[in-house]
């Protein structure tokens, strides 16, 4: 039986910081997709896109997955003041993956909730960071559309769930940045839908 192996490379938002391992979106989506699709969690708390680039070459590409989902940039913005590094590193990672025969996918991240984020770091201007993150997400969408690289639009899935439920967006996060179990369930459903489509196309 043909299996599709997808490496999920990212930071704490991929790792599942703050929830049990069985509640993280990579685990939940993998359980929904088994046995056809196998998801591998390569999230690392605190990682930047520069660190992701290093780990792509050290850990991901040598293992030869069928695809790699790239979702990062939050720590570039929160810790380094902007997304210029991500603007360079995300396309570079996608190109490096394609050169090795690995299909790149780009994860479009959820927004920050600035007021709640103040508990994480009182010295960061979270309103500015949230605006930067929104601009970055828009740029990622444009990059994917222009390059033909597949996007897993977690933000669109999140917006849709918020609209359907009528609940406040803050209820999906426990600190304005990291997802609650509810937030992870939204991301898991989004990833499962996209990965299932990719698997079905692979069989055609």
pLDDT digits (tens, 9 = 90+) for 135-174: 999 999 999 999 999 999 999 999 999 999 999 999 999 9
Contacts of 143 (CB under 8 A, 6+ apart): 90, 91, 106, 149
Residue ranges in 18-110 assigned as alpha helix (H): 25-33, 49-55, 61-63, 74-80, 84-99
- Tell me what pLDDT residue 5 has: 97
How many CB atoms neighbour CB 125 within 10 A? 14
Q: What is the pTM of this model?
A: 0.96
pLDDT at 2 over 90: no
pLDDT at 13 over 90: yes
Given a contact cutoff of 8 angstroms between Cβ atoms, the answer to whether 184 and 27 are in contact is no
The DSSP code for 166 is: -
List C-alpha distances in Å: 134 to 2, 55, 91, 100, 181.
Answer: 38, 26, 18, 31, 23
* pLDDT grade for 118, boundaries at 50, 70 and 90: confident
In order of their start, the domains of the chain are: 4-203 (3.40.50.1110)
- Tell me what pLDDT residue 58 has: 98
Given a contact cutoff of 8 angstroms between Cβ atoms, the answer to whether 140 and 152 are in contact is no
What's the rounded mean pLDDT across residues 172-199?
96
- Which of 17-21, 29-33, 112-116 is predicted least confidently? 112-116
C-alpha–C-alpha distance, residues 90 and 123, integer Å: 27
pLDDT at 33 over 80: yes
Mean pLDDT rounded to a whole number for the chain: 95
pLDDT at 180 over 90: yes
List C-alpha distances in Å: 165 to 158, 171, 193.
Answer: 11, 11, 20
- Tell me what pLDDT residue 120 has: 79
């Amino acid at each position: 039986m043909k299996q599709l192996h997808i490496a999920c490379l990212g930071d704490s938002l991929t790792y599942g910081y703050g929830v049990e391992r069985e509640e993280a979106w990579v685990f939940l989506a993998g359980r929904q997709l088994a046995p056809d699709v196998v998801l591998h969690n390569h999230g690392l708390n605190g990682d930047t896109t520069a660190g992701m680039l290093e780990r792509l070459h050290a850990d991901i590409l040598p293992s030869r997955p069928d695809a790699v989902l790239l979702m990062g940039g939050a720590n570039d913005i929160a810790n380094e003041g902007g997304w210029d590094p991500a603007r360079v590193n995300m396309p570079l990672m996608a190109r490096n993956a394609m050169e090795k025969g690995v299909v790149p996918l780009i994860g479009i991240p959820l927004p920050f909730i600035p007021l709640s984020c103040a508990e994480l770091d009182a010295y960061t201007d979270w309103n500015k960071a949230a605006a930067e993150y929104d601009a970055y997400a828009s740029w990622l969408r444009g990059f994917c559309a222009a390059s033909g690289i597949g996007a897993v639009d977690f933000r669109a899935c999140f917006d849709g769930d918020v609209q359907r439920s009528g609940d406040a967006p803050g209820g999906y996060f426990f600190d304005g940045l990291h997802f609650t179990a509810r937030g992870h369930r939204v991301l898991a459903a989004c990833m499962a839908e996209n990965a299932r489509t990719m698997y079905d196309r692979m069989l055609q």
